[in-house]
Structure 1
């Protein structure tokens, strides 16, 4: 579950933004900046997800506080998940799936160079990217239908994270068993 740490800014944003989108953005930015600083203290270089997260929340916070009535506030849920989708797809295109960095926190170093490790993380990242893409599209559809701020939106967002998290928890072991069979 080491990947949950990477999503703390997004979870904090989701929780706080239900009360006020401006403070949700600010809390997300604070959490992302804290993650970058923690990485620097421990000697870890910032990965694409961390940098992308900080960039998203820096822009959103600037918009939120310079124009609190901005129409952007109605689209923050869809925009945040769409941003994660773009980040995930970009990490695959760069052949550095975002789950790779997260997996390295818990997997022994001697496994990092194995092709299977990259393959498993590419699959995991693709599942996250597909889930983010579908979640963002669904949130846009809900917003367009006039039901974007209710329980359906929250349920979609929760499922958009829970389903790939469950897959992430199970797939590596399945792939290892399949490879040895």
Structure 2
């Protein structure tokens, strides 16, 4: 579950935003830039860092906005907006048939399967699960924010929204491999 490391900036944002959303955005930006630079220095291919790159772009804009307009009503929906951004990123990679999970999957899959239709199909399905999870979680978090349900309800929505696609990501390739009779 190495891909969960990419969510560190989002976790930093959620944790530090309790002090102020601009500080949460700044912490997310700094941690995102640091992780992205570290991965690039260690030779991780750019196509394996689509979410990380998107994260840095998002938090650069969010940080600038949050410091420029710290009392904006946008701060109430910052969590939902961030999940919406992840959903938009994931859906856009699907639209161009380059699911963000391709580069990640290539890091642990033999090169001879990279160009197979099954490999692309598995990654299209997994990315769809993440895109759907991000979108539904964004909607649920926005609803919690609008209803002022409090941080516990929001946290439960976020945890479910990340755990469900993570579990699917772990299980789905194994199901496909079993169906195809592939042994590893």
For structure 1, which runs of at least 5 residues remain unmatched after alignment? none
What is the alpha-carbon distance in structure 2 between the residues aligned to residue 14 and residue 94 of structure 1?
A: 30
What is the alpha-carbon distance in structure 2 between the residues aligned to residue 99 and residue 28 of structure 1?
A: 22
TM-score by length of 1: 0.92
1:25 aligns to what?
25
Q: Is the 8 A contact 1:2 1:106 kept in 2?
A: no
What is the correspondence of 1:86-165 to structure 2 with a 5 Å cutoff?
86-147=88-149, 149-165=150-166
SS at match of 1:76: helix
For structure 2, which runs of at least 5 residues remain unmatched after alignment? none
CA RMSD of aligned residues (A): 1.6
When structure 1 is superposed on structure 2, of 37-46 and 52-61 the one drifting more is 37-46
TM-score by length of 2: 0.90
1:168 lines up with 2:163 in the alignment: no
What is the alpha-carbon distance in structure 2 between the residues aligned to residue 75 and residue 11 of structure 1?
A: 16
What is the correspondence of 1:28-107 to structure 2 with a 5 Å cutoff?
28-46=28-46, 47-107=49-109
What is the alpha-carbon distance in structure 2 between the residues aligned to residue 71 and residue 104 of structure 1?
A: 41
Q: Is the 8 A contact 2:45 2:103 kept in 1?
A: no
Deviation of 1:45 (Å): 4.1
Count residues in correspondence: 180
* Superimposed CA distance per residue, residues 85-135 of structure 1 (whole angstroms, 9 cap, x where no aligned partner): 000100111111111111122222222222211111111110011111111
